[in-house]
Structure formats: C-alpha cells, structure tokens
Amino acid sequence: MSSITADSSSAAAGRSALRGALVAFASYAVFAFSDASIKILHGVIPSYQVAFIGALFGFAAVPFLKKREDEWLDMVRTSNRPLWLLRFVCGATGAISSVIAFTKLPMAEAFALLFLLPSFVTILSVIFLKEDVRWQRWTAVILGFVGVLIVLRPGFRELSVGHLCAAIGGLAAAISIVVNRALGSKEKRISLYGAGLFGTLIVSGLLMLSEVTMPTPTQWIFLASYGLLGACGSVLLLTAAQMAPANLVAPPQYSQMLWAIAFGYLLFNDSIDMPMAVGIVLIIFSGLLTLARERKRGTPLPTAVAGNTQAALVTAEDEKAAEGA
C-alpha cells in the first residue's frame, strides 16, 4: 500500500511539474507580448512615461502576489533599507532602459543583450557575495560575452543607445537578483516587488515633470497592454514557481527569443543575419549552462527577463522555500 501511495504521489508531483513548466512557457510568452507593445509605440511616447504607466498597471499584480499574512505596508517595509533602496533604483533603471532598448532595437537583438543577465549575476556574485565560481561557470560567462561581440560586431556596424540600454537593463536585473541573495529568506516577496514598482513609478514620475505626451486612444491600448500583460506575466510566473521547481521555471525564458524573432518578422520587418544568429545561440547556450551550474550548486536561479524587469524576483521567495524544504 505504501508503495502505491508513493507512486501516486510521485505521479502527481510529475504532473504538477509539467503543468508548472507549461505555465512558465505561457508567462514568458505574455512577457514577450508585453515587450512587443512597447515597440509598437515606435518611441512616440517618452520612455520614462511608458515606464511610469507600466508601473501603474503593474499594481494589478499585487493582490495576487500578496500572501494572506502580508500587510499592504509590507510593500515598503524591509529588513535592510539600503539594499531595498538599491532594488528601488535598479527597478527604475531596468524598466526605463528596457523600454528604450525595445524601442530602438530589433526585439531579438534587445533580448540577446538582456539575456546576459545570468553572466552578470555570476560576476556580481563573485565580487559582492564572494561566491566560489569554477571554470564551468566562467566558461559560460566568456561564451556569453563572445556571443555579444558577434551580435554587436563593434567597428563593423553602428551601435546605438539602444544597445547600451539593453546591457544596462540586464545589469540592473542582475543587481536586483544579487540583492535578493544578499537579503536571504528575511525579505518578503511583496517587499521586493514593491521596491521595483515604486522605484519605477517615482523615478519615472520625476522625469515626466519636464515633458508629458498625451497618448492617443490607440496608444493607451498598447500602454495598457504593456503594463497589464507584464502584471499578468508576473502572476503566471509565480503560479509556475508554486507548481514546479525553479530549474523547470527558469530555462523556458529563452522561448522569448522565438517570440521576438516571430514578432520582428511579422510586425516590424526585422531580419537576422547569420553572424547575429550565431551570437544569439552562443548567448542562449551561455545562459542555459549558467542555469544548469547554479541548479547543481543549489543557488537561487534568475527567473524572468522582460521589459517589466521587476518580474525578475517575483518567484524568489518561493524558490528559496523550495530549496530549504
């Protein structure tokens, strides 16, 4: 009887993990649609205004992220105010930079640079958390940066502020993840999310004081799509993390590249040449290798890469709980 019960429990866990992985794929697809909404605006609305409106709509996710024992004020409460403020700044920096990147660059190219996030996490973890990183993870970092050089081809093609902002967006999200690791299990998920959300809202709001553009009804639709789909993606990602282990939730983020290529071809007349395709493959392989090594070491995995960069830590608390179980 006990073996039958164990087999039944194992099968149920397997089905839950499969559903979690499928929900993760759905969440990253939703993030890709959110990011496409940015590009459809064609830069007519200032980037900081797009980020501000996106953050306003981002509050739609809070009721789903809030646990029963959480209070609303926990969004601004923290066990470490300096690190919370660093997360605050990174949330604003990442959101605005990502909006600029998706506005200025082909979607696939923007994602290729944002996918440097795992490499940035490795480097920052060595510098600030004194983590022991072995040759396999350094190999992944090197491959990632080689891929970026192939994609960018400095000296052979013109680089823009979009390339810089995409790299800054990935770095900001990486700093946020390292901050989360430094905080450990003491910080509530709603506090981490609140830091990025309020950071984007306040910094972008201050920048808007110099210039505000009134969106047309059609532009409002895409602005709402950017914010609400980002919030929806965050909730789906949380659901996936509750159903499946982190090692099954993180890798599907690279499916966003397929959406980016499809959107670029169908909507924005983007094209990918052979060197860029090779570079993208190297960057994705680098990220997957990093995720595999961090899973083996039991390190919390980076989750989402999206224009709504505050989503990068949505599942952080649940991952830590799973690893401690």
Q: What is the pLDDT of residues 275-311, one digit of tens each?
A: 888 988 888 888 787 777 666 655 544 444 444 444 4
pLDDT mean over 216-225: 96
- Do the beta carbons of residue 174 and residue 97 sit within 8 Å? no
The pLDDT, as a whole number, for residue 263 is 92
Residue 188 and residue 66: Cα distance in Å, rounded? 9
- Do the beta carbons of residue 57 and residue 230 sit within 8 Å? yes
The pLDDT, as a whole number, for residue 1 is 53
Q: What single-letter DSSP state applies at residue 167?
A: H
Between 124-128, 226-230, 243-247, the lowest mean confidence (pLDDT) is in: 243-247
Q: What single-letter DSSP state applies at residue 291?
A: H
- Do the beta carbons of residue 176 and residue 312 sit within 8 Å? yes
- pTM for this predicted structure: 0.84
How many other CB atoms are found less than 10 A from the CB of residue 273? 9
Take residue 43 and report the two structure tokens written for it.
């830069």
Contacts of residue 142, Cβ cutoff 8 Å, sequence gap at least 6: none
Residue 141 and residue 116: Cα distance in Å, rounded? 8
- Do the beta carbons of residue 199 and residue 89 sit within 8 Å? yes
